[in-house]
């Protein structure tokens, strides 16, 4: 406890009657509930506008990158095509959607890797930022005016939205579906709510952030040890503790702790996007614990056994059904007798991992022609032997069908596909999200393109 006289009203013996002159809000102000609602509860000498602004600046740069890469990922799903959209109620939120390109081939790998790895890297910064303003959540009275009530409600959307987006994102890449709703629409709608609150917050706080950043020199701060660490001067926002305790860590120490946490998150996850030998360093990545052997030795997202595909369907009696003006049924031998092409293409999963392999197969464009469909004017609806669920089908756009590197792959790295990688045949499309590279294909419907 501090032996200094505490700020605020003098102590009384009995309960003083509300002072009618100051009204209820004055009375409330003088009678905060105990614990975190009292200013004296929050005593860290490091809290202050400069510190909050340093974390805020990092988030101000990082969150728009998360937003852009996230919204691009939604566009990459081509949600306007049948079967691809699980947010049909998006309405105006789809205003920016465009026909996702097939080149550069690494684009989705880059944007989605950035989305996931940056999200993980920002976790310590987000927590530090929330810590630095946490006492404001307990401000008492809850609101002094209707305007303040609105402002504080918007903070709930801001903080709640940020926590919701980070938590659902992380749970999703950990394949830990504990929440009672579907990830994809929840993360998308949550993003828009959060972004709206974020824009309002930045608009209000930007000038104060800039002046707070100017109030101290970061280079000097990074040279200042514990002995010379003093609280920031009292500020109108009340970020600085009313009754600061002696410091137990310098600002430099706190920044190093948060920065070190971020570097750890980055270092333990980036390997899953880069792949190759670095894959082993991605200790935070849950994927790719299942690998194949020989040329099929790269990570498997879901095994055939996991999703319960009918093994019998993959035997010699397997046929690929083509639907179009001239429907056809082809065996694997028929497909292998067609012109085969080989390309190096990445699988880039929405969950952030990726891997590039060498795929051999038949061009989707050649299959479209065989079915009598117009190349460039036909989308394709792909069905898997896997029955039911979002992975059992996917639509590809006319542009994707027409790209000469878009394959119905039969082989990988010179060997037949393994069962887990989609034998007898799987889709491989350049720059498509991994989830659209459907495995265990049984039927392709070439349909006039959705304009």
Ligand X SMILES: Nc1nc2c(c(=O)[nH]1)N[C@H]1C(S)=C(S)[C@@H](COP(=O)(O)O)O[C@H]1N2
- The entry of Mo ion, ligand X, none near residue 188 (CB within 5 to 8 angstroms by kind) is none
Closest distance to Mo ion from the beta carbon of 69 (Å): 16
Token couple for 195 = 């972004």
Integer Cα distance of 345 and 350 in angstroms: 16
Helix, coil or strand: residue 341: strand
Write the CA distances from 42 to 5, 38, 207, 238, 334, integer angstroms. 16, 8, 25, 11, 74
User: By C-beta, is 371 or 435 nearer to Mo ion?
Assistant: 435
**Partner that binds at residue 251, options ligand X, Mo ion, none, CB closer than 5 to 8 Å by kind:** none
Q: Minimum distance between the CB of residue 77 and Mo ion, rounded to whole angstroms?
A: 11
* Residue 386: contacted member of Mo ion, ligand X, none (CB under 5 to 8 Å, by partner type): ligand X
Minimal distance, residue 285 CB to Mo ion, in Å: 12
437 binds, among ligand X, Mo ion, none (CB under 5 to 8 A by kind): ligand X
If binding means CB under 5 A, how many residues of this protein chain bind Mo ion? 3
The rounded distance, in Å, linking the Cα atoms of 100 and 400 is 9
Supply the minimum distance, in Å, between the C-beta of residue 396 and ligand X: 13
Instruction: Give least dist CB 433 to Mo ion, A.
Output: 7
Tell me whether residue 44 or residue 301 sits nearer to ligand X (CB atom).
301
The correct pick among 368, 412, 434, 437 for binding Mo ion (CB under 5 A) is: 434
**Beta-bridge mates of residue 444:** 322, 382
| CB-CB contact of 349 with 301 (8 Å) | yes
Query: In terms of CB distance, is 39 or 437 closer to ligand X?
Result: 437
Per-residue b/e over 156-180, b at no fewer than 16 CB within 10 Å?
A: ebbbebbebbbebbeebbeeeeeee
Report CA Rg, the chain: 28
Residue with Cβ nearer Mo ion (349 or 380): 349
- Give whichever of 39 and 269 is closer to ligand X, judged by the CB atom: 269
Burial class (CB in 10 A: 0-12, 13-18, 19+), 364: buried
- Which is it for strands 441-448 and 378-384: parallel, antiparallel or unpaired? antiparallel
What does the block give as tokens for 180?
């009672």
Nearest residue (CB) to ligand X, 102 versus 132 = 102
CA distances from 385 to 308, 382, 426 (A): 10, 10, 11
* 247 is an interface residue for Mo ion by CB under 5 A: no
Pick from 370, 408, 435, 449: which binds Mo ion (CB under 5 A)?
A: 435
CA atoms of 289 and 298, how far apart (whole Å) = 10
Shortest distance, position 437 Cβ to ligand X, whole Å: 5
Q: What's the rounded Cα separation, in Å, for the pair 252 and 254? A: 5
Binding residues (CB under 6 A) for ligand X: these are 299-302, 307, 347, 349, 384, 386, 391, 421-422, 434-435, 437-440
Place of tokens 């790998």: 109
302 binds, among Mo ion, ligand X, none (CB under 5 to 8 A by kind): ligand X
Contacts of 6 (CB under 8 A, 6+ apart): 40, 243
Return the number of the residue (378 or 431) whose C-beta is nearest Mo ion: 431
Instruction: From the list ligand X, Mo ion, none, pick the one residue 111 interacts with, judged by a Cβ distance below 5 to 8 Å according to partner type.
Output: none
Position of minimal CB gap to Mo ion: 349
Q: Pick what 391 binds: ligand X, Mo ion, none; C-beta below 5 to 8 Å, kind-dependent.
A: ligand X
The interface partner of residue 126, options being ligand X, Mo ion, none and the CB cut-off 5 to 8 Å by kind, is none
CA 195 – CA 161 distance, rounded (Å): 8
Pick 182 or 248: Cβ nearer ligand X: 182
Residue nearest to ligand X (CB): 434
Binding mask 335-374 for Mo ion (x = CB under 5 A): --------------x-------------------------
* Sites of contact with Mo ion (CB under 5 A): 349, 434-435
């Amino acid at each position: 406890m501090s032996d200094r006289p505490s700020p605020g009203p003098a102590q009384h013996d009995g309960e003083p009657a509300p002072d009618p002159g100051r009204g209820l809000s004055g009375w409330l102000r003088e009678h905060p509930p105990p614990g975190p609602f009292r200013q004296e509860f929050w005593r860290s000498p490091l809290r202050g506008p400069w510190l909050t602004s340093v974390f805020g600046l990092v988030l101000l740069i990082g969150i728009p990158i998360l937003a852009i890469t996230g919204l691009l990922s939604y566009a990459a799903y081509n949600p306007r095509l049948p079967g691809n959209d699980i947010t049909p109620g998006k309405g105006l939120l789809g205003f920016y959607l465009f026909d996702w390109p097939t080149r550069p081939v690494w684009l989705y790998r880059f944007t989605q890797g950035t989305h996931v790895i940056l999200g993980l890297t920002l976790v310590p910064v987000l927590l530090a930022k929330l810590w630095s303003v946490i006492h404001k959540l307990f401000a008492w009275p809850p609101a002094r005016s209707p305007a303040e009530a609105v402002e504080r409600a918007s903070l709930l959307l801001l903080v709640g939205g940020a926590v919701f987006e980070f938590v659902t994102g992380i749970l999703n890449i950990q394949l830990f579906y504990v929440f009672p709703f579907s990830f994809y629409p929840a993360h998308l709608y949550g993003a828009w709510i959060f972004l709206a609150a974020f824009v309002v917050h930045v608009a209000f706080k930007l000038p104060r952030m800039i002046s707070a950043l100017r109030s101290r020199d970061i280079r000097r701060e990074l040279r200042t040890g514990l002995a010379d660490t003093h609280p920031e001067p009292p500020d109108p926002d009340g970020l600085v503790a009313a009754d600061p305790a002696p410091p137990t860590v310098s600002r430099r120490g706190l920044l190093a702790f948060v920065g070190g946490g971020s570097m750890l998150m980055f270092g333990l996850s980036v390997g899953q996007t880069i792949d190759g030998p670095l894959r082993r360093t991605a200790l935070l990545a849950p994927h790719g614990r299942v690998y194949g052997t020989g040329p099929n030795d790269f990570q498997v997202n879901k095994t055939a056994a996991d999703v319960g595909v009918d093994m019998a369907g993959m035997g010699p009696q397997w046929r690929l059904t083509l639907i179009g003006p001239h429907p056809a049924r082809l065996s694997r031998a028929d497909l292998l007798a067609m012109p085969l092409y080989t390309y190096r293409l990445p699988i880039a999963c929405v969950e952030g991992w990726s891997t590039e392999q060498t795929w051999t197969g038949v061009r989707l464009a050649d299959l479209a022609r065989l079915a009598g469909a117009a190349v460039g004017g036909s989308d394709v609806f792909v069905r898997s032997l896997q029955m039911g669920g979002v992975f059992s089908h996917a639509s590809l756009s006319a542009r994707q069908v027409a790209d000469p590197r878009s394959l119905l792959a039969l082989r990988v790295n010179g060997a037949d596909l393994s069962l887990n990688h989609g034998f007898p045949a799987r889709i491989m499309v350049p720059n498509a999200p991994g989830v659209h590279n459907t495995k265990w294909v049984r039927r392709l419907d070439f349909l006039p393109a959705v304009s």
